[in-house]
Structure 1
Amino acid sequence: MKSLLVLGGARSGKSRHAQGRVEALPGSLAFIATAQSFDAEMEARIQKHRADRSDRWHTIEAPFALADSIRAAATDHDAILVDCLTLWLSNCLLADHDLDTASEALQAAIAACPVPIALVANEVGLGIVPENALARRFRDEAGRLNQAVANAVEEAVFIAAGLPVTLKPARKQGRADANPAPCSMR
């Protein structure tokens, strides 16, 4: 595994799948957490995720500086798990960050990452159209981010009901299989 995107809905098993893939690798592991604890329920979720990880994991909190955190983690660890891109996007959107610039920096960090990296994201575009402008913008930006990251990684998997469905298979060493051209981001 060089770079992997794991997509899925809420409680689909995407984080568990990504964590298992990274834990199968040798060495020191970095968990880049994008969640922020604003209430007791979210704090309980964060603590449960931490309890599910062994002592091999070093947690790095990166609610905003994700590209920088990936670069830094790659210098001290043998593999990285980012969980999750959707929360990171939400943080950036609500803080009024330039999403195009942040996405481009993320894509560059993934491409330059010298160690295996797995990234987790929610697929939020399968439901109804949200009733308010902010929710519609979030849905649209999440779709664009997922497309961009899927294009940047070597492998992409969709998780439904705990079962992985390969969207973009990892290429075998020495094969020159071309990936399909990505859809337009805008």
Structure 2
Amino acid sequence: MGKLTFISGGVRSGKSAFAEKLLVEEATAVQGRLVYIASGRATDQEMRQRIDRHKLDRATQSWTTIEQQTNLHETLSSIQPNDFVLWDCLTTWLANELYTEQDGQFCIQIENCMEQKAKKMLETVEQIHSIAAHFVIVSNEVLDEPASIYEETQKYSEWIGKLHQQLVGMSDNAIEMDYGLPQYWKREGQVVVR
């Protein structure tokens, strides 16, 4: 089984660039394949620009990109043994899944819908972890903000908190990016004491 690394941080904290650099260096050392699972959806001009910027950042490397906004498990057939895989990002995937429509309702409105999706996603993370040389998951840190008065935003925050805790528990490394600098909270399975 390879390594699993979880990287969180605020918007534009440098988490994606750090994750990409980490995997590029490791893959280059062993001539491994780089795989980028992109969950972003170009819903507006700002998001389109961010997606384009991320593509430009990866242009000099030989990334195999999988556009997968929902249903992470559908990427499994594309992952090969000893790949270096980056999933960017969990928070975007969660928003996409919460607002997938089923029978005229969004998942966020259907009892146990997100529980099933989260369970499937965590199983998929384990499967990718068992195949890849290194699997890095990027997520936005949104829990430092004041609590929202909106019920759907509260549900989103609750899910982020649950998923972050579960993924950090599964991970070998847990890193929080701040101002472009990595803060290790867990390194090679050991909690970093401060």
TM-score w.r.t. structure 1 length? 0.85
Structure 2 residue ranges without an equivalent (≥5): 101-105, 108-112
Letter in 2 for 1:36: R
Q: 1:65 aligns with which of 63, 71, 85?
A: 71
Give how far 1:155 is off.
1.2
Task: Give me the whole-angstrom Cα distance separating, in 1, the residues matched to 2:71 and 2:168.
Answer: 20
Q: 1:40 to 1:76 in 2, by over 3 A?
A: farther
Does 2:117 correspond to 1:102?
Answer: yes
Q: Which residue of 1 aligns with 2:90?
A: 85
4+ residue runs of structure 1 moved beyond 3 angstroms? none
Q: By how many angstroms is 1:11 displaced?
A: 1.1
Residue 40 of structure 1 deviates from its aligned partner by 2.1
5 Å-filtered alignment, 1:1-186, equals 2-26=3-27, 27-53=32-58, 54-69=60-75, 71-75=76-80, 78-95=83-100, 96-97=106-107, 98-113=113-128, 114-115=131-132, 116-171=134-189
Partners of 1:51 and 1:135 in 2: CA distance = 31
Kept in 2: contact 1:34–1:64 (CA 8 A): yes
User: How large is the RMSD of aligned CA atoms in angstroms?
Assistant: 1.7
| TM-score (normalised: structure 2) | 0.82
Unaligned segments of structure 1, at least 5 residues: 172-176, 180-186
| Count of residue pairs brought into register by the alignment | 172
Letter of the 1:135 counterpart: T
Moved more, 35-44 or 76-85: 76-85
- After superposition, what is the alpha-carbon deviation per residue over 1:93-112, rounded to whole angstroms, capped at 9, x for unaligned? 11234222222222222222
Query: Cα deviation per residue 1:117-171 (whole Å; 9 max; x = unaligned)?
Result: 1000011111101121111111111111111111122211111111111111114
